[in-house]
Amino acid sequence: MHDELWDLSIAHMDCDAFYASVEKRDNPELQDKPVIIGGGKRGVVSTACYIARIRGVRSAMPMFQALKLCPDAVVVRPRMDAYAEASRAVRALMDELTPQIEPLSLDEAFLDLTGTARLHGAPPAIMLARLVKRMKEELGLSGSIGLSHNKFLAKVASDLDKPRGFSVIGKAETVDFLKPKPVRLIWGIGPATQASLDKAGIHTIGDLHRWEKDQLTERFGQTGERLFHLARGEDFRRISPNAPVKSISKETTFFEDTSDPDVLDGHLWRLSEQVSARAKAKDKAGRVVTLKLKTKAFKTITKRQSLHQPTQMADTIYRVARSLYDAAGNTGPFRLIGVGISDLTAAQDADREGDLLDPDACRRANAERATDKIRAKFGTDAIKKGRALR
């Protein structure tokens, strides 16, 4: 048993292949089949279940490529409302453990269980084990837990033994654990930082230990200071459930740089749906839609559009993002694309006005809203799209 198991209290919970798990739960026939969420004409993998992952399918992979690797996969169109609903159910279970929860997206969250042992009569490790057990039994969803002494390490830990993992990183082994790991393990190190670290001869976290704090700061600015501390397993960020959400965004880095408008459009749609689902789960709507593109040369292009009224509709977010993309001109190939909403307001103020020039938009929004309402009242299964019943 781990020496510090009963003392650690910062956790990261990450659902396993969340979208795919929801689909398998709702349609038991899919249980033993490779399942890919995504597709349609948009043609990008959103999530793949573990069976499909064994065959090499990954998120953000073009669908044709995924199907080449896994021709017998069942492709399911994403039902973001169902995922948002499942996310709320998981959140309700977590709420019983601690009020200190910081959700990162629909399927993962940080939990701070410091000082809850007396309340629950059991240390955090036990409570977290019970949480994943209840998730499995009551919601039919599996999750992996990372338990450590700060957010950075908790998140790293939850990824160590997926799926259905429970990993612990104690204070004693933190440095030895980190040293041989590649620097990209550190949160926030993208390809650009990676490239400049490579240039400095920094490949592993251990390499960072050879640098003084001043040297890192001089060379990498603020990131340098962060790297210095994170390399030593020091992360001073607190779990802040009430930190006001300023924006909601999703981005994806491609396997291969692309300038194919169809592929990019597919990603835009998928990301818009995810942003919308998160906005709905948080009861937020955004007044500004942002499109982010990163070119092959690591140049970041950001375009934003203020909306006439706040929105949380996937359809609206997608349409605005798409027009921003069109206006940006195709200056690809791109290595990353992202969609976000900001200038957030309460959901009640959102999408209240229709568009004279697009009467269908109103109908689509009404349908989306009606579905959400019925599901909220009678559960996720109350309404299913025709294809889910086949």
Partner 1 sequence: MKFSIERAVLLKAVAQAQSVVERRNTIPILANVLIEAEGDSVQFRATDLDIEVVDKASAMVERAGATTVAAVTLNEIVRKLPDGALVTLTEDGVKGRLTIEAGRSNFSLATLPKEDFPVMASSDYATNFAAPAPVLRRLFDKSKFAISTEETRYYLNGVYMHVATGEDGPALRCVATDGHRLARIDAALPDGASDMPGVIVPRKTVGELRKLLDDDDMQIAVSVSETKVRFATPNITLTSKVIDGTFPDYTRVIPQGNTRRLEVDASDFAKAVDRVATVSSERSRAVKLSLDEDRLVLSVNAPDSGAATEELAVAYDDERLEIGFNAKYLLEIASQVDRENAVFLFNSSGDPTLMREGNDTSAVYVVMPMRV
Q: Which residues would be at the binding site for partner 1 (CB under 8 A)?
A: 305, 308-310, 320, 323-324, 327, 345, 349, 351-358, 362, 366
Is 247 or 309 the residue whose CB approaches partner 1 more closely? 309
Is 297 or 356 the residue whose CB approaches partner 1 more closely? 356
What minimum distance in Å lies between the beta carbon of 95 and partner 1? 25
Is the Cα torsion angle 260, 251, 165, 159 positive or negative in sign?
Answer: positive
Is 218 or 326 the residue whose CB approaches partner 1 more closely? 326
Of the residues 23, 108, 273, 368, only one is catalytic, namely: 108
| Cα distance between residue 146 and residue 10, in whole Å | 8
Annotated catalytic residue 218 = no
Axis crossing angle, helix 222-231 with helix 213-220, rounded to the nearest 10: 140
CA atoms lying within 13 Å on the CB side of residue 161 = 13
Which residues are CB-neighbours of 382 under 8 A, at least 6 positions away? 374, 375
Is 86 or 291 the residue whose CB approaches partner 1 more closely? 291
What minimum distance in Å lies between the beta carbon of 355 and partner 1? 5
DSSP state of 244: P
Is 117 or 362 the residue whose CB approaches partner 1 more closely? 362
What minimum distance in Å lies between the beta carbon of 353 and partner 1? 5
Among candidate residues 304, 318, 300, 299, the one with its CA nearest the CA of residue 361: 318
What minimum distance in Å lies between the beta carbon of 323 and partner 1? 4
Q: Which helix (H) or strand (E) holds 154?
A: helix 151-158
288 contacts 304 by C-beta, under 8 angstroms: yes
What minimum distance in Å lies between the beta carbon of 280 and partner 1? 16
224-260 residues labelled b (16+ CB within 10 A) or e (exposed): bebbbbbbebebeeebebeeeeeebbbbbebeeebee
Q: Write out the catalytic residue numbers.
A: 108
